[in-house]
Structure 1
């Protein structure tokens, strides 16, 4: 559904609107500091790619604007992109979305509608809104332009350093899909999921996407009920290494990122690092590993 060519096109399109985030070398690893991205999360890349591409095609109406459903981060990215491009943004989030993310959504000028307790309920409400208003629907992860934009993270990593392996957290699979499309034939991809939100592992076990129940400390950002079609397509094409981590490992990794490096990762972003700190993924001798720290939209008072 997407290829590296789509990722390269996205990189050209969004270059003026996103940050090229630093790659930090520390203690034998590379950290891709995507938590320093605009809006504090990698999703700004896909949001700008989706909205700019739609504007190029004449599909983006400033009055109807854009609509998305989100646990918080995709909403932040699309609200920011919409504000830059001068269009209206409506964001549907679960009632359980962190207050810090809801406040930031409103600060970007988005209309925030809180519905239900899970992403799936916010998604259903967003689809109804699209039907009623004609707004441009921007999926949180399962659209080609969203995934291709996310893949520009891998392009930057592989431009900046000689890396064998990219370690990435998986929720709905948009970031994973973009990373896998960019890295195919160039680097291994380790796909890390919380044990309580195993969308990719469930698909691998069942031979295709399947609905799961979601819970746990990272559910606000990795709590999709099923892997997206694009993520599944890339998983079949590239055969990533699938790794599961516990909530306890995620909390410990998040604490370690702050204590050792002063990286303010949210739980979903710490999941990738947890694969290494917990031993769920053990690199080979001499393996050059980059960990994508993909977001920092968290309550700073909980960092310790």
Structure 2
């Protein structure tokens, strides 16, 4: 009897994608907020707050991409042609963000240009990731196991709205991260930006939550058919409760809770996405079982993955622990 590894690979990929969204999300959020900082010292503190961890966070993106290719090759072959352009934009944005991070500290006359590159790279990468998510939820036309749509099918109002929504989401993560990692005037500024971002996030969560069931009847049935509507109601109710707790925490002047409340909102949104789309890996055409690689291939890849995952988790836990606490302007990236 062959052990079914599809559920385990599903969990591994879901964790990899979610870890990337959370960890690189606040990095990109700091980049989006960067040009609006009060002064150059504030911008230096913002960069110092993410400098020890920003590049390592992209490990999860690589793990997610390789895992999808190896464990669900049919899904990879359909999704990639549909999303070539937004994925290319995302990679270019991440490239510009990384180059700006390295060059800005040593620049003098050209520093403002690297500031723009850091901002634009973060913004483009975030918006492109939102477009990837939006098109994934929207679904892909599939014929004979291949993508049957056009190159620009992702350019539609729903997808673009999700892209803007993710910009607000990463702004919220970035602003609450700065609340946790800074103090004084910059922290007060970050609190204000956290409130602004939270309003935007809630507006787009509401819009997407209403829009998505209208696009796909199966999602509407999943959420609103009885008894599902009663069983799943804790998800939106918990979202409202967390948003209220986040707002109150910002008003009280808390340092650490706002960031964790913001992460909690992402957890609930991710859970809602999983509820809406399961068991499809190519919405709404190919299930996880249909897209999976041969069991022997899954088992072979799993050996290395199960060895590496604890190492990756251990390293990330250690690095975040070592660089805990508030940042200072006199201790920087270079």
| TM-score, structure 2 as length reference | 0.27
Q: Relative to total residues, which structure has the larger strand share, 1 or 2?
A: 1
Q: Relative to total residues, which structure has the larger helix share, 1 or 2?
A: 2
* Structure whose CA Rg is larger: 2
| TM-score, structure 1 as length reference | 0.29
